[in-house]
Homo-oligomer: A and B are copies of this chain.
């Protein structure tokens, strides 16, 4: 999960991109639980807040949904369609 803190693109966007790629590549199946925020923190070396910010992007895109106390889930595939 290489994140370059000095890259042109902000780290939270790099993380969002990386996760989006993994989801769209089918690496993380729909309806499946995704690595927890804590795991993503460790994988990426970013802070909790920054990880959440990346997840916010993907939630806004409709790719992910979060369930308090349960985890992070990939939304059923319905291609690209915003709210």
Which residues in A have some Cβ–Cβ distance to B below 8 Å?
A: 56, 60, 82-83
Contact = CB atoms under 8 A, between A and B. Distances in A.
Give 4 nearest A-B pairs by CB, closest first. A82-B82, A82-B83, A60-B60, A56-B56
Contacts of A83: 82
4 contacts: A56-B56, A60-B60, A82-B82, A82-B83
A53 to B, nearest CB: 9
A69 to B, nearest CB: 17
A83 B81 CA distance: 9
Nearest to A80: B83
Contacts of A82: 82-83
